[in-house]
């Protein structure tokens, strides 16, 4: 708490020193009990709706942080994004949020969002929707043929469902593969069952496979391994053939149904496996080239479906063989329980029988106990709190126990924008009136690292709240702009270890906040991938520009030429347009061009004040001071933004090339949009070009404002 408060104070001071126009009266802190009591209340609503649940399964364990982390917090190298430690897989109970229920909406609603296409695509990829079908393969037991006719409670025969994206290749499914963790394999290898001829061999393989991580298992270059499930066969529903069954680790338990129909002629992995184990390879798609061919085409060796194209055959085959169209997703539910001290305590208590109950609103906020050591040890620090246990029993009764986990801090940022728009409401987390006035967020800036974390979590959270009738919009943000990075002077990412960190406070101290702020704006256009190195010379240049701005008033005159008014007008248009396009760098260059001209030609007092208004967003402190020195009493930041006069925008004269019989003979200056006869007269009157036009003119062609061609 002390550390957080000190940081907030420090950063607030730092941000204020830059003169940014934040609404400080709309600030909210996710660490305030007053804020997180709403986070907890939302969790209890999610719990009641089944969105939050206590699940079991394989989780990511970070040995450095001594806690579980979410899939999204594991880097592509399998490390913790926070500590960098190699993440381990553990099986343990976990608090989860059912983000997978929203997978389709999270994908489909992207279409209407005016976000950068690559950000949307990254979310689609992360969610990873595969459209396909479930197909069932009945089993044949060789050791106990009587089992073949046995039926389940709903009259069904023993069967293995598979997930496939290519039901059109069903006639080419020549064997079945189950994941080592598949429940049927677990059942068939336990002591109570006697269906396999090689139970021990299968057990050994399963135990070995469990040791290997997913990356190793799905590595396409690695030689395929597996063991046949001897004594049992599956029936291909299309051909009626009995086909062998295997357990192999290239099939993953957590994807689809954990079992596949293998089509070696049209799938790379199945092809590699079938080749190694000498299994039947039957081509069912008519394509050129060597097997395996994975593209779609017309069906062959597929009975009544021969000649039908893949897309149509998919539908027809699923329908004909009792399949079920379904989608599978890469996205997993969001694991949010953490075995660490900081974070919002999970607002759940357990009755003496161990059943979870949400903590009623009147007992929220459910605060963090302070009588514990907060260092992570692997065991949740809250488990050691005497106060938390006593509090629970005092409120709920003897034998009741508290949940001892805290929530991933991404829950805090999943709804903060809703609080910003209504930070002081004590009846709700954010009133509907405030939401109707402000939400969704018009423009959201942030780093690319948020694409499949915060940006996905908060979209999910918003939708979950929407379904509970608590928010007015289905999407939290309208436009999104990713930002780049300010790199060290050496062009590398700033880091303490590289010694290339620029301390902004020191630069503010040295050159002033306006110079630092303007320099940041001047580095280059703002946006994705826009990473710029810090340049000491560059910031010094901005400082000099500001010093000259400080002296510009000395060039104010009562009468000046028209040119400066025209230039100022163009500067207004340029700065305005550039700000809208986040091209702050070219907006500043336009201000520099104007300042140069004004120093040379002079400017009126009015023009000077307009310049200050244009400068104000970039150099808020200096412009305010100069504004007051110019005799104004109100703030420059409360002035209306200058508007350009379109009539003055275009340059009033144009340079026209004069051609004789197609050859350029010189140029003339004429008023813009002058008509052909006026331009011809000007050309004739021109001392250099005029004489070249002497003679009989057969034809005159004038391309407005560009070329006058005279045919003699």
Site of interaction with ligand ANZ (CB under 6 A):
130, 163-166, 169, 179, 251-252, 255-256, 258, 260-261, 263, 266-267, 328
Distance CA 545, CA 540 (A): 9
CB of 325 to ligand ANZ, least distance (A): 14
Among residues 271 and 627, whose Cβ is nearest to ligand ANZ? 271
User: If you compute the radius of gyration of the chain from its CA atoms, what whole number of angstroms results?
Assistant: 36
CB of 260 to ligand ANZ, least distance (A): 4
Is 278 strand, coil or helix? coil
CB of 277 to ligand ANZ, least distance (A): 17
Strands 175-178 and 242-247 come out as parallel
Contact present, 624 and 652 (Cβ < 8 Å): no
Contact present, 36 and 346 (Cβ < 8 Å): no
- Among the listed residues 21, 12, 20, 19, the one whose alpha carbon sits nearest the alpha carbon of residue 621: 19
Distance CA 470, CA 570 (A): 48
- Among the listed residues 168, 163, 175, 171, the one whose alpha carbon sits nearest the alpha carbon of residue 135: 163
What six digits make up the tokens of 624?
Answer: 């305010």
Among residues 47 and 175, whose Cβ is nearest to ligand ANZ? 175
Among residues 236 and 482, whose Cβ is nearest to ligand ANZ? 236
Among residues 255 and 429, whose Cβ is nearest to ligand ANZ? 255
CB of 537 to ligand ANZ, least distance (A): 51
Among residues 252 and 395, whose Cβ is nearest to ligand ANZ? 252
Total Cβ atoms within 10 A of residue 141 = 17
Asked, as a colleague might, if the bond just before 440 is cis with ω within 30 of 0, I would say yes
- Among the listed residues 664, 675, 663, the one whose alpha carbon sits nearest the alpha carbon of residue 705: 675
Among residues 166 and 459, whose Cβ is nearest to ligand ANZ? 166
CB of 252 to ligand ANZ, least distance (A): 4
- Among the listed residues 57, 121, 52, the one whose alpha carbon sits nearest the alpha carbon of residue 91: 57
Among residues 130 and 478, whose Cβ is nearest to ligand ANZ? 130
Among residues 327 and 389, whose Cβ is nearest to ligand ANZ? 327
Among residues 168 and 333, whose Cβ is nearest to ligand ANZ? 168
User: At how many degrees (to 10) do helices 513-522 and 504-511 cross?
Assistant: 120
For 156-212, the DSSP string reads PBPEEEEEES-GGGGGG--EEEE-TT-HHHHHHTSTT----S-HHHHHHHHHHHHHS
Among residues 220 and 694, whose Cβ is nearest to ligand ANZ? 220
Among residues 66 and 169, whose Cβ is nearest to ligand ANZ? 169
CB of 128 to ligand ANZ, least distance (A): 7
CB of 154 to ligand ANZ, least distance (A): 24
CB of 98 to ligand ANZ, least distance (A): 21
Among residues 165 and 709, whose Cβ is nearest to ligand ANZ? 165
| 575-579 own/partner pairs: CB under 8 Å, 24+ apart | 575/614, 576/641, 576/642, 576/643, 576/644, 579/617
Among residues 163 and 366, whose Cβ is nearest to ligand ANZ? 163
What six digits make up the tokens of 260?
Answer: 């596949």
What six digits make up the tokens of 108?
Answer: 């489909």
* Buried residues in 227-264 as b, exposed as e (16+ CB within 10 A): bbbbbbbbbbbbbeeebbbbbbbbbebebbbbbbbbbb
CB of 214 to ligand ANZ, least distance (A): 10
Strands 707-711 and 653-660 come out as parallel
Among residues 136 and 169, whose Cβ is nearest to ligand ANZ? 169
CB of 291 to ligand ANZ, least distance (A): 11
- Residue 76, judged by CB atoms within 10 A of its CB (0-12, 13-18, 19+), counts as exposed
**CA 462 distance to own-chain centroid:** 15
Tokens 């209890």 belong to residue? 44
Among residues 17 and 130, whose Cβ is nearest to ligand ANZ? 130
Could you tell me the CA-to-CA distances from 656 to 2, 563, 566, 673 in Å, in that order? Answer: 72, 21, 21, 11
What six digits make up the tokens of 66?
Answer: 């001594």
**In 264-413, which ranges are continuous DSSP H helix?**
268-277, 310-320, 386-396
DSSP 8-state secondary structure symbol assigned to residue 136: E
Distance CA 514, CA 522 (A): 12
CB of 208 to ligand ANZ, least distance (A): 18
Distance CA 355, CA 157 (A): 36
CB of 130 to ligand ANZ, least distance (A): 3
CB of 153 to ligand ANZ, least distance (A): 26
Among residues 291 and 395, whose Cβ is nearest to ligand ANZ? 291
Distance CA 508, CA 619 (A): 13
CB of 303 to ligand ANZ, least distance (A): 17
CB of 224 to ligand ANZ, least distance (A): 12
- Among the listed residues 138, 156, 173, 319, the one whose alpha carbon sits nearest the alpha carbon of residue 260: 173
CB of 164 to ligand ANZ, least distance (A): 3
């Amino acid at each position: 708490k002390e550390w957080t408060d000190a940081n907030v104070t420090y950063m607030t001071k730092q941000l204020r020193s830059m003169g940014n126009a934040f609404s400080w009266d709309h600030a909210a802190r996710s660490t305030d009990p007053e804020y997180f009591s709403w986070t907890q209340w939302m969790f209890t609503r999610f719990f009641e709706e089944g969105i939050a649940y206590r699940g079991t399964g394989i989780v990511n364990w970070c040995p450095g942080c001594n806690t579980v982390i979410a899939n999204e917090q594991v880097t592509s190298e399998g490390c913790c994004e926070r500590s960098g430690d190699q993440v381990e897989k553990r099986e343990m109970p976990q608090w989860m949020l059912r983000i997978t229920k929203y997978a389709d909406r999270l994908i489909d609603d992207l279409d209407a969002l005016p976000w950068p296409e690559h950000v949307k695509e990254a979310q689609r990829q992360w969610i990873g929707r595969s459209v396909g079908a479930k197909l069932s393969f009945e089993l044949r037991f060789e050791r106990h043929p009587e089992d073949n006719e046995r039926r389940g409670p709903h009259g069904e025969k023993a069967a293995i469902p598979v997930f496939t994206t290519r039901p059109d290749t069903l006639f080419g499914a020549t064997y079945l593969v189950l994941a080592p963790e598949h429940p049927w394999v677990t059942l068939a290898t336990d002591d109570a069952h006697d269906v396999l001829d090689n139970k021990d061999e299968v057990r050994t393989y399963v135990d070995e496979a469990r040791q290997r991580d997913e990356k190793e298992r799905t590595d396409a270059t690695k030689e395929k391994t597996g063991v046949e499930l001897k004594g049992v066969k599956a029936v291909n529903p299309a051909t009626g053939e009995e086909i062998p069954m295997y357990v192999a680790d290239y099939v993953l338990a957590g994807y689809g149904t954990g079992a596949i129909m293998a089509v070696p002629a049209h799938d790379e992995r199945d092809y590699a496996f079938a080749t190694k184990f000498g299994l039947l390879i039957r081509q069912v798609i008519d394509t050129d080239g060597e097997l395996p061919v994975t593209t779609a085409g017309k069906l062959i060796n597929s009975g009544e479906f021969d000649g039908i194209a893949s897309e149509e055959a998919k539908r027809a085959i699923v329908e004909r063989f009792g399949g079920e169209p379904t989608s599978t997703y890469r996205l997993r539910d969001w694991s949010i329980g953490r075995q660490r001290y900081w974070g919002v305590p999970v607002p759940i208590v357990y009755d003496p029988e161990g059943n979870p109950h949400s903590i009623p609103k009147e007992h929220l906020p459910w605060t963090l106990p302070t009588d514990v050591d907060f260092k992570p040890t692997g065991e949740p620090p809250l488990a050691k709190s005497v106060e938390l246990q006593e509090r629970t029993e005092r409120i709920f009764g003897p034998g009741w126990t508290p949940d001892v986990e805290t929530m991933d801090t991404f829950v805090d940022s999943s709804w903060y924008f809703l609080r910003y728009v209504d930070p002081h409401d004590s009846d709700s987390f954010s009133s509907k009136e405030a939401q109707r006035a402000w939400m969704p967020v018009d423009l959201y800036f942030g780093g690319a690292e948020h694409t499949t974390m915060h940006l996905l979590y908060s979209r999910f959270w918003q939708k979950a709240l929407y379904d509970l009738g608590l928010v007015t919009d289905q999407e939290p943000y309208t436009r999104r702009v990713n930002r780049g990075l300010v790199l060290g002077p050496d062009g590398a990412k700033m880091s303490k270890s590289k010694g290339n960190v620029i301390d902004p406070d020191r630069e503010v101290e040295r050159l002033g906040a306006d110079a630092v702020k303007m320099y940041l704006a001047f580095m280059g256009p703002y946006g994705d991938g826009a990473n710029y190195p810090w340049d000491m010379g560059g910031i010094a240049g901005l400082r000099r520009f500001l010093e000259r701005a400080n002296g510009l008033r000395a060039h104010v005159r009562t009468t000046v030429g028209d040119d400066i008014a025209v230039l100022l007008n163009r500067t207004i248009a340029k700065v305005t347009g550039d700000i809208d396009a986040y091209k702050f760098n070219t907006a500043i260059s336009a201000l520099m061009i104007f300042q140069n001209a004004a120093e040379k030609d002079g400017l009126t007092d009015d023009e000077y004040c307009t310049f200050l208004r244009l400068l104000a967003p970039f150099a808020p402190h200096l412009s305010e001071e100069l504004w007051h020195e110019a005799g104004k009493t109100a703030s420059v930041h409360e002035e209306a933004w200058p508007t350009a006069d379109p009539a003055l925008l275009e340059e009033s004269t144009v340079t026209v090339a004069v051609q004789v019989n197609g050859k350029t003979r010189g140029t003339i200056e004429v008023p813009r949009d002058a008509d052909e006869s006026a331009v011809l007269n000007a050309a004739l009157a021109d001392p250099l070009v005029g004489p070249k036009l002497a003679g009989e003119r057969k034809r005159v062609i004038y391309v407005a404002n560009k070329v006058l061609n005279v045919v003699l």
